[in-house]
Structure 1
Amino acid sequence: MEPTVRYFVAVAEELHFGRAAERLGIAQPPLSRAIKQLERRLGVTLLERTNRAVALTEAGEVLLREGRAALNAVAAAERRTRRAARAEPRLVLVTKAVASSELLSKLLDAYAAEPGAIAVDVLLCGPGEQERLLRDGRADVALLHLPFDSTAGLDTEELRTEDQVALLPSGHPLAARTRLRMADVTDLPDLPLPRWPDADGAYPDGPGPQVRDHAQLLQLIALGRAAAVLPESCRAYLRDGLAAVPVLDAPKVTTVIAWPPHSRSRALAALIRTATAL
């Protein structure tokens, strides 16, 4: 049924049979027939068709949502299967650049000392990307951070919880304070908070600079172009020109190790045991 679901998702996203057929690389008549056969099989109307437009029914909305999830799951399974078939098996761990680096270093060292440990490739990404890379099969395991990342549908183990600090230029008046509140940081006209891209790569509107990774962010803060609120572990990366001040009312950040619930990898299970033992 997968090809038919793929056909339906293309039509539902394009809301145009011609564009969907072009996207799929097939002719329009067989695409129309496939959608009609799918509707007959399910006993529901998925698309309302007129001479001018195509619209999703309520049932079509449900199938679009579920179909996307199913296709993503199949693609993820294919990626993990190909990786498992390599002559030298490896695990892929994804995490945000800079975040949890001290914890990650300890984890990798401890796991490497375990009998039967295999190589671990580390993918560094921007905020929010690690969850997507884990779900689409490009990674086997991820370090996620609550409450910012979603762990819905994933198995997780909590590793640590920490407070947050405001990262400021060392010469800024607030850098001399012993503690701050969120309002102190969010209302700074001279040091706007950064704007991170969403899952589609688009930046939200706002006065803050567009940033792609934490290295760029640290440089902007040192130059006096931005401020940020980050987990306390970022103190490990303080350098000349940067100061960290505790933010009393910022939400605590919990680092978790997350993996797909259907995984049966012994190497992954060993890595998770190592992480929780730390």
Structure 2
Amino acid sequence: MESLETRELRYFVAVAEELHFGRAAERLGMAQPPLSRAIQQLERRLGVRLLNRNRRGVSLTGAGETLLHEGRAALDATAAAVRRTRRAGGADGPDGPRDRLVLAMKAGASHELLHKLLDAYAAEPGAAEIEVLPSGTCEQGKMLRDGRADVALMHTPYNSLAGFDSEELMTEGQIAILPAGHRLAARKTLSLAEVSDIPGLPLARWSRDGTFPPGPGPEIHDQTQLAQLIALGRTVAVFPDSARAWLWAEHTAVPLSDAPPVVTHIVWPAHSRSLALARLIDTATRL
């Protein structure tokens, strides 16, 4: 069976995502004519049309949709293999090479749980080095798939666990985080509808897979930015109850009466064979 080269997949995914040969060529750092020829050669080799080309522009065929989905997964798998291989050959300790794991988590969530987990795991004999990477609302799954992370703390119903193995760690309610001086800060509870429609205090918007959802609220890139904007009275945010651990004196947390409970899971790629990761997961479930 004929195989595809990583280069061909990168070319096609760029065109399929941009739906414009000029923008795709610019993104890839190459001229447009060789990119067009490469896609045409790919279609001939596969024996199917991947793109519809007409005066109105470029669109994907059914076969193109399939290759885009599969191509993204293949490129992620290739990137993951490279990143995890490099981590496996990391810095040596006094007794030889030391394992290193990268853990992704939503910035500001599960703070106390993570603190307990890292302390408990560090006490284990031969514990690997853990690097913690804060991320946006829905970026943890992408980071697991492309190898930037080996394990993640993810939260349902907001994160999809499809394609991963996971263990449930904790269930908690949700809170609205408001400026301490706001008129609603004295309330015992709030509803989701009330929080989403506060005059002059729009909901913060976290990146989802590299894009921000529409809305008037500010685009949030990290927890410090969010904390500052809440304190300044520029935005409001909804978080699991455990986010109380990082609140400032200028913040107030009000429970949400009708928000679904948030379940924190420890999540990892289903194919992982890392002994260090297995030990971390065992520690997490014992907590």
1:236 corresponds to which letter in structure 2? A
State the alpha-carbon separation in 2 of the partners of residues 149 and 4 from structure 1. Answer: 31
Q: What secondary structure is seen at the aligned counterpart in 2 of 1:192? A: coil
Provide the aligned length of Structure 1 versus Structure 2: 276
Task: Tell me, in whole angstroms, the C-alpha distance in 2 between the residues paired with 1:266 and 1:173.
Answer: 52
Q: Secondary structure at the match of 2:206?
A: coil
SS of 1:144's partner is: strand
Cα separation, partners in 2 of 1:184 and 1:50, compared to 1, 3 Å: closer
Native 8 Å contact 2:11 2:35 kept in 1: no
Give the Å deviation of 1:126: 2.8
Out of 44, 48, 63, which is 1:59 matched to? 63
Aligned partner of 1:220 in structure 2 is 229
Instruction: Identify the residue that residue 12 of structure 2 maps to in structure 1.
Output: 8
CA distance in 1, matches of 2:17, 2:216: 32
Matches within 5 A, 1:124-143: 124-143=134-153
The 2-side partners of 1:203 and 1:19 are apart by 21
Q: State the partner residue of 1:154.
A: 164
* 1:226-275 deviation line (CA, Å, top 9, x unaligned): 22221111222233222222111011111111111111000000001111
Across the aligned residues of Structure 1 and Structure 2, the Cα RMSD in angstroms comes to 2.7
Does the aligned pair in 2 maintain the 1:146–1:253 contact within 8 Å?
Answer: yes
Distance across 1 between alignment mates of 2:23 and 2:179: 51
In the alignment, structure 1 segments of 5+ residues that lack a partner are none
Give the alignment of 1:25-104 within 5 angstroms.
25=30, 28=33, 32=37, 35=39, 38-48=42-52, 55-86=59-90, 87=92, 88-104=98-114
Amino acid in structure 2 at the alignment position of 1:83: R
User: Contact between 1:180 and 1:248, CA under 8 Å: does it hold in 2?
Assistant: yes
The corresponding residue for 1:229 is: 238
Q: Does 1:249 align with 2:246?
A: no
Q: In structure 2, what is the equivalent of residue 112 of structure 1? A: 122
- Give CA deviations for 1:2-42 in whole Å, capped at 9, x if unaligned: 2443343344445566776673758946973x555544554
Once the two structures are TM-superposed, the CA of residue 127 in structure 1 deviates from its matched residue by: 2.2
Aligned residue for 1:111, secondary structure, equals helix
Residue 147 of structure 1 aligns with an amino acid whose one-letter code is: P
Whichever residue aligns with residue 235 of structure 1, its letter is: R
1:226–1:30 Cα change, 3 Å: closer
Task: Give the deviation of 1:66 after TM superposition.
Answer: 1.1
When residues 266 and 178 of structure 1 are mapped into structure 2, their CA distance, relative to the original with a 3 A threshold, is same
> For residue 275 of structure 1, what is the aligned residue in structure 2?
284
Q: What is the alpha-carbon distance in structure 1 between the residues aligned to residue 261 and residue 56 of structure 2?
A: 52
Is the aligned partner of 1:262 residue 2:266?
Answer: no
SS of residue in 1 equivalent to 2:248: coil
**Cα distance in 1, alignment partners of residues 81 and 139 from structure 2:** 19
- SS of the residue corresponding to residue 116 of structure 2 reads helix
- The Cα of 1:96 is off from its aligned counterpart by 1.9
Q: Percent identity?
A: 62
Contact 1:126 1:214 in 2 (8 A): no
- Tell me if 1:240 matches 2:245: no
Q: Unaligned regions of 5+ residues in structure 2, if any?
A: 93-97
Secondary structure in structure 2 of the residue aligned to 1:94: strand
Q: TM (normalized to structure 1)?
A: 0.87
| Secondary structure at the counterpart of residue 95 of structure 1 | strand
